[in-house]
Amino acid sequence: MKKKKEKWKIFKLYLWKKIRDSKIRTKLYLYLVLSVLIIGGVIGTASYYQMRRELLHNAEDTVISFLKHAGNRLDEQMKAFQMSAYSFSADSEVQAAARDTAEKSKWERTLEKNIVSTAVSQYGTLYRYSDFIVMQKNNGELIWNDEGLSQEKAEELIQEGGRLLEDVQAVKWCRIGGRNCLVRRITDTGGKNRWKQNGLLVIGVKDALFEVGEESSAYTKNENLVIAGQDGSIYKESTVQPESWDIREHLGYKNGKYYVYAMHEKYAEKSYLVVPLKTMEMRMNLVCIIPYHLILDSLSHVVKFIVAVTLVLCGLGVGAARILYASMKKNLVIIENGMQAYEAGDYSRLQSPACYDELGLLILQFNHMGMEIQRLNELSQKEEQEKQELKYQILETQINPHFLYNTLETIKWMAYEKEEKEIVKLSGAIIRLLRFTVKNVNKMIPLREELSYIHDYVTIQKIRYEDAFKVQYEITPEAEAFYITCFVLQPFIENSILHGMDISTNTGKICIGAFVKEGVLNISISDNGIGMSEEVLQKLEEKISGNRLEEYRGFNGVGVTNIILRMKMTYGKEFSYEFHSKEGKGTTVLLKIPKGDRADETGFDR
């Protein structure tokens, strides 16, 4: 059992996986067909049971109405038969024959029988429904016996009838020897002893008396009706009653009132509608037994109709699935072609959806995604190109020939006008500067080495401009040990000297400060020069925002814009800068450099 459950579980998982991984078309067919089957099944089942209830209810009403009419008719027929029997027993010749106790000859007895036979034929109801008549005098002599009955059988009927008839009863319906009978006393109706019994009359009753007749219908007919007396004696049996059925369960109504109701019984796995009724006059019990299949046969046509409608709806569902899939397929093909183009690296192709459903909107999103990828690719290529250009610029950069020419010209004049000490000082600064430039290209260095390089550069510029400016350093020890990319500060110092200050006044001042806060190196470079206008600052920001490299004819060919772009590419969004300047009040540059080595991302090697 456990293995079967495991196999069934594995099969369900396998089936679910097959459905899940199947094509959209198959899923649409399956889902729509299942939806139709479920909806059709629910509606069909509800309709079936509703019609079933209606049919049973209608059958109950029909049977109840039938039993009321059949009960009235049975009462009338039994009363009429009973009255005919009374009239027969009250006939003067029958009375005389019953009172006469003298012995008679054979001829006299034959004459007596003829008198009785003539009396029987005079009473139509009795003649129509009587099967046999047995008549006995008080002395026990049989004065009438139908030819169909033997003497022995007639005596047995008279004996049993007399036993069943109680002292106070004049008439009784009963079953004797498997036959329906009416037992009646023959009383003296004309004498002084009016209720004196002169004899006993046993009349056999034909089954026709208990038949339904014209009241029969599809549900209510003789085969379905059981008629029983108050003692449970069955006068008429049903041909459809179950073997285990007991009519006594349906006898004994409240005070003998004209009361009827319906019950649903089950015998031997078969269901029956059972409706009992007790007549008002004769107190006879009528029980109608109808198998469910007689009532529900018409439902078979309904079931066939529901199945046919469900199959038609399934066909329509499959057709609807084909139409839906056909409309979806166009967009699916467009998406597939777009994905193939993206896989090949072509992000510029724009797809036009066949219809603007969810898949159509997805195609528009694919278009947007493709354009964004294309833009990012172009931006990435542009940044890579700029990185390479900046790398080559730094690798290929040398001291500007104009600068060397001016410097050597200065050395020439100083050698002419001054002593050797100044020449040695200037030459030493140039040599250290050139050595630093060649040695530290593409490296991350401590800030102290960058400041040493700046010191030599400032020495050269101060000699060149005859100490027209001063440089002040405010560097914390922690900042000195902070690693940064090389050649960061020089373009800002050079910009302050060449463009920011009025050399002729000999009052120029440059302040370089650095400290570390929360792992970020904060560098400030300020001067007291002529400053920049708002327009110049805006143009500078536009160059930086547009990632535009500039051709700069300075000491190493790298300007302020190039340095900012280089720092952004090296450190990313964690790097920030600020320019503060006003005309006539100098310029201040603030740099915030994060800790860490990201030079490998820019193409620079440590």
More confident residue, 118 or 347: 118
> Does the residue 584 lie in any domain?
yes
CB atoms within 10 A of CB 431: 11
Evaluate if residue 108 carries a pLDDT over 90. no
Residues 566 and 418 occupy one common structural domain: yes
Q: Is the Cβ–Cβ distance between 512 and 473 less than 8 Å?
A: yes
> Does the residue 419 lie in any domain?
yes
Task: Express each pLDDT in 481-540 by its tens digit.
Answer: 999 988 788 888 888 888 777 776 778 899 999 999 999 999 999 998 888 888 888 888
Q: What is the pLDDT of residue 457?
A: 85
Q: What is the pLDDT of residue 553?
A: 46
Identify which of 463, 351, 349, 341 has the alpha carbon closest to the alpha carbon of residue 414: 463
Q: What is the pLDDT of residue 253?
A: 55
**What is the C-alpha separation between 556 and 396, in angstroms, rounded?**
10
Q: Band of the pLDDT at 599, cuts 50, 70, 90?
A: very low
Number of domains in the chain: 2
> Does the residue 553 lie in any domain?
yes
**What is the C-alpha separation between 447 and 450, in angstroms, rounded?**
5
Task: Express each pLDDT in 432-455 by its tens digit.
Answer: 666 666 555 557 889 998 898 888
Give the domain-ending residue among 336, 361, 396: 396
Q: Is the Cβ–Cβ distance between 336 and 81 less than 8 Å?
A: no
AA letter at 364:
L
CA dihedral 433, 434, 438, 439 (to 10 degrees): -50
Residues 381 and 404 occupy one common structural domain: no
Residues 390 and 450 occupy one common structural domain: no
Note down the domain range covering 490: 397-601
Side-chain-side CA neighbours of 424 within 13 Å: the count stands at: 3
> Does the residue 99 lie in any domain?
no
Residues 386 and 417 occupy one common structural domain: no
What is the rounded average pLDDT of the residues 125-149? 79
Q: Is the Cβ–Cβ distance between 476 and 516 less than 8 Å?
A: yes
Predicted TM-score (pTM) of the model is 0.50
Residues 536 and 391 occupy one common structural domain: no
Give the domain-ending residue among 334, 366, 396: 396
Average pLDDT, the chain: 78
> Does the residue 207 lie in any domain?
no
Q: Band of the pLDDT at 49, cuts 50, 70, 90?
A: confident
Q: What is the 3-state secondary structure (H, E, C) of 24-67?
A: HHHHHHHHHHHHHHHHHHHHHHHHHHHHHHHHHHHHHHHHHHHH
164-181: string of b/e by CB count within 10 Å (b at 16+)?
Answer: bbeeeebeebbbbeebbb
Residue with tokens 């039938």: 66
**What is the C-alpha separation between 173 and 167, in angstroms, rounded?**
15
**What is the C-alpha separation between 503 and 506, in angstroms, rounded?**
6
- Report DSSP letters for 367-392, one per residue: HHHHHHHHHHHHHHHHHHHHHHHHHH
More confident residue, 222 or 594: 594
CA angle 233, 239, 242 (to 5 degrees): 80
Give the domain-ending residue among 329, 364, 396: 396
Q: Distances from the Cα of 19 to the Cαs of 37, 79, 117, in angstroms?
A: 18, 77, 90
Identify which of 440, 522, 443, 436 has the alpha carbon closest to the alpha carbon of residue 482: 522
465 SS3 class: coil
Residues 447 and 322 occupy one common structural domain: no
Residues 336 and 379 occupy one common structural domain: yes
Residues 410 and 348 occupy one common structural domain: no
> Does the residue 425 lie in any domain?
yes
144 SS3 class: strand
Identify which of 522, 530, 496, 521 has the alpha carbon closest to the alpha carbon of residue 511: 496
The percent helix, strand, coil of the chain (3-state, each to 5) is: 55, 20, 25
Q: Is the Cβ–Cβ distance between 580 and 588 less than 8 Å?
A: yes
Evaluate if residue 159 carries a pLDDT over 80. yes
- End-to-end alpha carbon distance in the chain: 71
Residues 464 and 329 occupy one common structural domain: no
> Does the residue 560 lie in any domain?
yes
What is the rounded average pLDDT of the residues 145-157? 81
**What's the CATH code of the domain at 524?**
3.30.565.10
Residues 350 and 387 occupy one common structural domain: yes
Residues 456 and 555 occupy one common structural domain: yes
> Does the residue 577 lie in any domain?
yes
More confident residue, 510 or 45: 510
**What is the C-alpha separation between 238 and 288, in angstroms, rounded?**
8
Q: Band of the pLDDT at 190, cuts 50, 70, 90?
A: low
Q: Is the Cβ–Cβ distance between 138 and 97 less than 8 Å?
A: no
Q: What is the pLDDT of residue 97?
A: 76
More confident residue, 429 or 271: 271
Evaluate if residue 270 carries a pLDDT over 90. no
Q: What is the pLDDT of residue 181?
A: 92
Q: What is the pLDDT of residue 475?
A: 94
Task: Express each pLDDT in 331-350 by its tens digit.
Answer: 777 877 877 777 777 777 77
Residue with tokens 């479920």: 38
- Report DSSP letters for 530-576, one per residue: ----HHHHHHHHHHHHTT------SSSS--HHHHHHHHHHHHGGG-E
CB atoms within 10 A of CB 458: 22
Alpha helices per DSSP H over 267-357: 292-296, 299-343
Q: Work out the percent of the chain whose per-residue pLDDT is above 70.
A: 79
Q: Is the Cβ–Cβ distance between 597 and 444 less than 8 Å?
A: yes
**What is the C-alpha separation between 478 and 249, in angstroms, rounded?**
110
Evaluate if residue 593 carries a pLDDT over 80. yes
Q: Distances from the Cα of 179 to the Cαs of 122, 202, 219, in angstroms?
A: 24, 11, 27
Helix (H), strand (E) counts: the chain: 16, 17
Region class of 24: left (phi > 0), else alpha (psi between -120 and 50), else beta: alpha
**H-run or E-run covering 594:** strand 587-594
Residues 450 and 591 occupy one common structural domain: yes
What six digits make up the tokens of 157?
A: 């009927």
Evaluate if residue 319 carries a pLDDT over 60. yes
